[in-house]
Amino acid sequence: MDLEQLWSDTHSARQSKDVFFLLAASINLLANPTATSSSSTSGVFYAVATDISYDSEYLSPIVIGSQKQTMNVVYDTGSSDLWVFSTQCGVCSGKSNLFNPSLSSTYVGSSTSFDITYGDGSQASGHTATDNIAIGGVTFKQTIDITTSVSSNLLSSQLDGILGLGFQALEDVQGTCYPFYMF
């Protein structure tokens, strides 16, 4: 895809109030050699994000696990972790969409904990795990932060989790595999 076509696609997406993100699958394939793509052979795939709050928040579906549980996450360029609301989070029971690890045969839990605090004071904590993730037609094994506790302001939003696109140095748990940092 050339830059002119990329600009045209981006401009069209902005006109429709949807924004798409181009993520370089080749970067992910370097981090995860077992990653597979079902829809792209060019090394680039599209992930569509929908504006839900007048350009302050964009949601995009990702699919997690063998049971293909869809979670709507916010892409965040200021963090580098992927976390989702889960059935293991007692205060999350009022959310309509929770990731249920027990439904996924590809889920592998961990005792490594995470605790993220954002600039606005929002907080999420729990433990890490790995599972299969699909975004824009590409499926790969990914580290996921499974919430056991979150702050109330996160519960009031429409998101099901956050997918950090920031630099790898921003990871809460250093050394985990988060191939989505920006380059």
Contact by Cβ (8 Å): 107, 65: yes
> Worst-scoring range by mean pLDDT, 5-19, 38-52, 95-109, 135-149?
5-19
pLDDT at position 1 over 50: no
Rg (CA), the chain: 16
pLDDT at residue 57, rounded to an integer = 77
pLDDT at position 183 over 70: no
Q: Which domains does the chain have, with CATH numbers?
A: 3-170 (2.40.70.10)
In angstroms, the CA 5 to CA 147 distance is 39
Q: Which of 69, 168, 172, 73 lies closest to 123 in space, CA to CA?
A: 172
Instruction: Provide the residue type at 1 as one letter.
Output: M
pLDDT at residue 72, rounded to an integer = 92
Task: Give the predicted TM-score (pTM) of the model.
Answer: 0.73
Provide mean pLDDT across the span 93-119: 93
Provide mean pLDDT across the span 17-38: 41
Question: Across the chain, what does the average pLDDT equal?
Answer: 75
Task: List all residues 6 or more positions away from 37 whose beta carbon is below 8 Å from its beta carbon.
Answer: 25, 45, 137, 138, 139
Contact by Cβ (8 Å): 113, 98: no
Q: Which of 137, 153, 154, 136 lies closest to 145 in space, CA to CA?
A: 154
